[in-house]
Structures are given as structure tokens and as C-alpha cells.
Amino acid sequence: MNRRAVIGATLAAAVPTGAVAATSISETRLHGREALTIANGKMQLSVLPGGGFIGEVRLTSGRAKADINPMRVPHYPTIDPYAFTYARDGATYGTDVQARLMSGYMGHFTCFPQFGNQPEEFKAADYNQHGETLAVKWRREASSDLVMSAELPRTQYRFQRSINMLPDETVATVTETAENLMIADRPLQWVQHVTFGPPFVEKGKMFADASVDKVMLGWGDGATLAAWPNSVNEKGEAHDYRVFSGEVGKWLLQRDGKNWVTAYHADYNVLIGYIFEAATNPWLLDWQQNRTNLQKPWDGKVVARGFCWGDSLIQGAKNAVAQGRNFGVPQYSWIDGRAKRSQTYTIFLAEIPSGYRGVASLKTENGFIVLTEKETGKILRVKAALA
């Protein structure tokens, strides 16, 4: 049975005719920029064609404390990154290698074909931090799903992202496909940079849970492993890695089955989570910023937490290849010549009660994402036919 048949059978068996709102895709505006929004009456998700940023993922329950958008929206106006030039926009967004990203940065974006940068080389080539996917215009393809593709002429890839949202669920299923247009096989980095911001991010009040094996301290041959979530930070101080503190963390995730990460704010009634393949996504960089970066356009105002999960923690593909592995786990992956690679992941939202303690475990079974609460053992089920 194909994917469409599975969807149709699921809906026919579980949903009376006319009982739920249909999934729709519409052209919208998000914080002044062109966007495409997929919605089903319970949840909506908005993508910016300028760079492919997922700038909005929120419930539409009508309850203010549940319907906030966790994604980071900068304190400054943004533009589509493909329109950025240093001559015109450098005074606003900066003049270093991250300026093009800063010009359009919003929420969740895909770092491809590299995570981070080699600053001197990239700036000299007028290339940018975190890959080419964020720097080009994505175009919608004809489909009942929200399918968008991007041509990457400088790095010679074609990239596609498909987002499916079933009626009566608060779940989006995302499939990304990269096609190598070169004849040669080559190394790459493929990382999802999921960035949250205020009001969802606040020091001491925003918490994360994940399928973490160990925390990595240091880099290279001098790196060590520590317990998660309570151990020490790289200063040797006692540290709780669940809570937003402004300090960066490096997490080695499980290597079998599915990995997951969830986040919530103590004062709001929504939890956001991601589920993804462990074998190809063993690392998570818990990037945090709490008003310490003073350069343009940060200006000491940015509060943000980014869960950068994927095949690497390392700055730039060349550095990842040179580093090789940490604790036996690679810091990059490969794609064959003229080949395609795909990965599918799940984004979900759950309405949570006040006083929620966090996620002790997560599993998928019988068409549901099943969350077990820390300390209480209470079960929360999120309907998810395709998860």
C-alpha cells in the first residue's frame, strides 16, 4: 500500500466525514516576508521561500498560552537572504561570514551541505555560514503536500523538502532529499538548526529533554564524556543541561532506532518535539545565546536556543573530515556521485498542563507519539498516523 493509500485508509477508518478541517496550503506573509502556510485547523506551519526557513510552528486551539510560536523571530526586520549584498546590507546585518544568514534568520533552517564555516575561505569566496540551502530561493512544486525545492548552483546539489500534515493531528512529517549533481562522491554535513526564541526561551524557565547518551566536553583528542542531564560543564562546574542558561552544550545521542528532542516553557502550555533517525543523526549541539553577542545585528539583544541535530557538531565539512570521529562516531557523512539521499523526521506539538515536569521517555506506537512525564509517570498521547 502506498503512502497516499495509507493516509486515505487511516482517515476513512478514524474520522467521520466532515468531522475535521481539511489540510490547506496558502500563500501568506510572516513578519513582512513571503511565506507558505500549511494548516489543518489544529496546527499551522509556515515556511519562507527565502532560504527555506520554517518560521512558525504553532497550535491553533484558541488558547493563548498554548498557541504561541516557539520559533525564533529576530528583534530586527529580516530580508530574503538571496537578496543580501554586503555593499547595501552590511551596515544592518554585519560584514562577516554569517551576515547573509543573519539577514534572513528565522526559526528552523537546514544546514546543507555544511554546518558552520571555514571563515577566511568562505568570506573570500562570498560564501556563507551553514550552507547554501539558506541562501537561495525555494520554489513550490505541484503537490497536495507542501513540497519545495532549491537549486544550489555553487555547491552543485538539488535539494527538496516535503511537508505533510494530516487532518486532526498536531504533527508534521518532513522528508528532505539531497541530490548530488557531481559525478564524484563527497563528504557533507546535514544538520537541522531548530532555533527557538522569546517568549518561549527564557533563562531558568525553558527546559529540554532528549534521547541523550552522554554530554561531550572539549574537542578532538582531549574530549571527554559526562552524564546527561546533570554533570559538569566545560568549566568543571555543576550544570543542568535541561534548562536554558545561556551556555552551549554538545550532546552525543543514541545510535539505534529513533532519536528525539522536546522543549517547553514552564509558563506556557505547549511542548514542541522532533523525532528523527538515530543512525544518521547522532549529534546535537545545544546552541544558546543570552544577550552576550554584541556585534551586528545581535547588539546584545538576542535570546535564543538552537537544537542543531544531525551528522556533525564541527565547524565546516573540511574540519569535520580532519576531525574524523569523536568516541567512534563520525562528524560527517557521504553522498555518492549522481546519487540521492533522503531523510524523514517528525515535528509535533502537544498541549501540556501547567506544572508539567518534562519528558522521561518517548516512543511511537499504534498511531500515537507516547510521552511519559518525568516524576509522575503520566502518559500523554499525540495522534500521529505517520510518525
Q: What is the pLDDT of residue 20?
A: 66
Average confidence (pLDDT) over 360-371: 97
Question: Over 90: is that where the pLDDT of 220 sits?
Answer: no
Average confidence (pLDDT) over 112-117: 94
C-beta separation of 81 from 127 below 8 A: no
In the numeric block, the cell 532528549 is attached to 210
| DSSP H or E stretch at residue 90 | helix 86-93
CA 297, distance to chain mean position in Å, is: 22
Instruction: For residues 4 and 21, give the distance between their C-alpha atoms in angstroms, rounded to a whole number.
Output: 18
Question: Over 60: is that where the pLDDT of 193 sits?
Answer: yes
DSSP string, 310-323: ES--SSSHHHHHHH
C-beta separation of 134 from 111 below 8 A: yes
User: What values do phi and psi take at 135, rounded to 5?
Assistant: -105, 0
Write down all domains in the chain, each with its CATH number in brackets.
3-383 (2.70.98.10)
In the numeric block, the cell 560584514 is attached to 95
Q: Using 50, 70 and 90 to split pLDDT, how confident is the model at 12?
A: very low
Instruction: For residues 45 and 19, give the distance between their C-alpha atoms in angstroms, rounded to a whole number.
Output: 22
Q: Using 50, 70 and 90 to split pLDDT, how confident is the model at 44?
A: very high
Q: What are the cell numbers at 169?
A: 493531528
Q: What is the pLDDT of residue 17?
A: 46
Q: What is the pLDDT of residue 313?
A: 95
Sheet strands (E) in 132-269: 139-141, 146-152, 157-164, 171-180, 186-188, 191-196, 206-210, 212-217, 224-226, 230-232, 238-240, 249-253, 258-265
Distances, alpha carbon 266 to alpha carbons 52, 206, 242, 298, in Å:
30, 6, 12, 26
Average confidence (pLDDT) over 9-14: 42
Per-residue 3-state assignment (H helix, E strand, C coil) for 345-386 = EEEEEEECCCCCCCEEEEEEECCEEEEEECCCCCEEEEECCC
Buried b (16+ CB within 10 A) or exposed e, 32-60: ebebbbbbbebbbbbbbbbbbbbbbbbbe
> Which tens digit of pLDDT belongs to each residue from 127-172?
899 999 999 999 999 999 999 999 999 999 999 999 999 999 999 9
Q: Which of 75, 24, 72 lies closest to 48, judged by CA?
A: 72
Q: Using 50, 70 and 90 to split pLDDT, how confident is the model at 5?
A: very low
Q: Give the pairing type, strands 206-210 and 191-196.
A: unpaired
Q: Using 50, 70 and 90 to split pLDDT, how confident is the model at 14?
A: very low
> Which tens digit of pLDDT belongs to each residue from 45-57?
999 999 999 999 9
> Which tens digit of pLDDT belongs to each residue from 64-95?
999 999 999 999 999 999 999 999 999 999 99
State pTM to two decimals. Answer: 0.94
Instruction: For residues 44 and 24, give the distance between their C-alpha atoms in angstroms, rounded to a whole number.
Output: 9
Question: Over 70: is that where the pLDDT of 15 sits?
Answer: no
Question: Over 50: is that where the pLDDT of 3 sits?
Answer: no
Q: Using 50, 70 and 90 to split pLDDT, how confident is the model at 222?
A: confident
Any idea what the Cα angle at residue 51 is, between residues 48 and 55, rounded to 5°?
40
Give the dihedral of Cα atoms 99, 102, 103, 106; nearest 10 deg: 160
